Amino acid sequence: MERREFMIKSGMLAAFAAMSPNAISGKQPAAPADPLQPVLLPALPPLENNGGMAIRTWVRSSMTNGLYSSVECAVAPKMMGPPPHYHKELDELMLVLEGTGSILVGDDVVEVQAGGWHLRPRLIKHTFWNASDKPLRFVDMYFNQPFEEYLEKIFHELTVEKGFPDGSEAKNRELAALNEKFGVVFPPSAFDERGEIVKRYGLK
């Protein structure tokens, strides 16, 4: 192949390679996200449940360009989690570190022991509880949504000490706004279902 012909064909290939759908449509390509930075999270003692339920954020969504976040959760023995609910956009992955978690998925209950994982994709009704006489501790991982912000608001801000007693109008208003913002949906029967689970497993 002559040099001139080679240069022409090479130039045409380069031109086609550069023609993304955005280029063809005239749209500007999206700016690349900031590159992820290394982060060291030093070891901490296991989270205490303090006789109820507690959370501690490990990886923030802002550290991963919104791709991933995670929290550690500690649950006291015989403690019920939230009413059954589903997420419009959030996919959730649990790794049990200690104890055994009971998980409602749809209408089925599964038990996840220490070392086990459980994936709960969006739009599937679920909840969890600790039916055992031993503490439960797990890491909950969230994809494509900063759900740690939702939990931090509930556990650290909407508290009795800060003027938000359970059942108060102010707290219910804040919870409704949070659920709307994060796409958390409680079916009409959610609170009745929660009560049935509490009664069946002797929870608090």
pLDDT tens sequence across 37-70? 999 999 999 999 999 999 999 999 999 999 999 9
Residue 157 lies in a domain: no
Q: Would 128 be classed as within a structural domain? A: yes
Residues 26-36 pLDDT 10s: 455 555 567 88
Residue 26 maps to a domain:
no
E-assigned strand segments in 106-189: 108-113, 117-120, 126-130, 136-143, 184-185
Q: How many CA atoms lie within 13 A of 140 on its CB side?
A: 26
Q: Quick check: is 175 in a domain?
A: no
Residue 188 counted as domain residue: no
Q: Residue 136 to residues 13, 102, 186, 201: CA-CA distances in angstroms? A: 59, 10, 24, 15
For 200, residues 6+ apart whose C-beta sits below 8 A from its C-beta are none
In a domain, 202, yes or no: no
Report yes or no on 106 lying in a domain.
Answer: yes
Do the domain assignments include residue 80? yes
Query: How many Å apart are CA 158 and CA 123, to the nearest integer?
Result: 26
Residue by residue, DSSP assigns 38-84 as -------PPPP-TTSEEEEEEE-GGGGTTSEEEEEEEE-TTEE-SPS
pLDDT tens-digit profile of 136-192? Answer: 999 999 999 999 999 999 999 999 999 999 999 999 999 999 999 999 999 999 999
List the domain range (segments joined by +) for residue 85. Answer: 53-145
> CATH number for the domain including 123?
2.60.120.10
Domain count, the chain: 1
